[in-house]
Chains A and B, each alone.
Chain A
């Protein structure tokens, strides 16, 4: 691999890793806020215990999100300094505003909430976690605006002298139609990740301890997974249509549709060459691709070959075709895995309805394997981002700047390999430690034991 590919790989590795913890933080913060507000309203201490339980998971997850998120702020200058110079006017303010508006809120109020149980009046204390949840959502919205610019540049002009992008209107940048479609889709996907983690822990701990609160936790998680899943599907459909409009090549790559087709089918499954160019076995759903792309079964979907011709005429010679096998399979896996998680969670809800215990053989098998369910939405989120980002190639900002032009001049393979090893090593250790801590924290009982004396205010929470 040359230095460009290595630098891309590094960006992908640290970003994908970061994005395991971000959706968890977003959904756990929202869940904790919801649970605490429920406790305030119902005065039922079960919800306080659940809030604290989710809070412990949130705090260890948030910490990893913070330290890996910091890396993102530096990446653009370290590996992609030409991009940073070209795009600094647009991206810089966006990052700065995200930090000032959202990160300070999240970090400060999460600490106030976590350590403030005994020091703040109840309502003020509940407000702190609501502020944290708002902060996470706000930060998602702002950073997705930056990504949406890369997908579909708006609100900019190119300086004729320096050749650099200038920001014209921040409001327009935020309200990019890609962002308006990608933001709810991303949030819904995030809710699925957190929901499935709670479902997993709830099922596992309820089986081990029979503590009723864990059943509530499991069912809450299952509801979040199902609702998040449904919302992901609806918003994904909308995002697909917007994407067909702004990046037809991406959607053509998603179906490996080489020739422009009217009334195009969608292949749910395909065997043949990996890039889908010579399928010898496919399961086609007629008209579905046209419906996904525009909503009209008889509409015309542009093919890869035609788009390549069109782009060569428009942007000059070169390949404008992304990695088709990656796009084709990532798109299918994203939908398939995500929907599988939703169906499994829905089945769990059904098999435990009205206080029922899952007793039949296949129900018990389901319970045995349910603790693995968070892997599904996490994987679906990841392949979704891999699809979005790789199928934009060769562009770093669609239509105005290519990835190859963004890299830092003078960067060497040795440096990138050294840093890649460093990140892989430390991130690997952190992931293992995070997993073990989540297991350890989950093993603690939900309700504080009656036999133990209440901890001294100053000593709790233990740090």
Chain B
């Protein structure tokens, strides 16, 4: 935990710079996407066919041109936009999700969910054992009972799949 905090404080400066400029960064990104879509649409996919009318690139190109125009407008007027503020806490959920997904590749999705529930509730949120166990059991019953057995979803088994498959 200590190491984690240190790292984030170290990068804090960078993050603040990014979040302060989000009103500019977002329209720049959408403009870039729009330009990419227009270029590909016109060059690779084609716009209009003499006999058949619209080609593959017609619809996306028109929409992208509109988006480009509005993105530029948003960029010009971005000075007035409020700067978003992020708290470090909010990103914990994203980290938790990523950890759970990555662990699925190693120990399989079900075990990963089990480990995530217990670690999150007991270690991170410091809940009581009772809360932790009740919540975990309900989630596992849903995942295994409903999704795997009833609906027949084959969740990834991770390394175990390679060994026992």
Query: Do the two shown chains form a genuine complex with each other?
Result: no
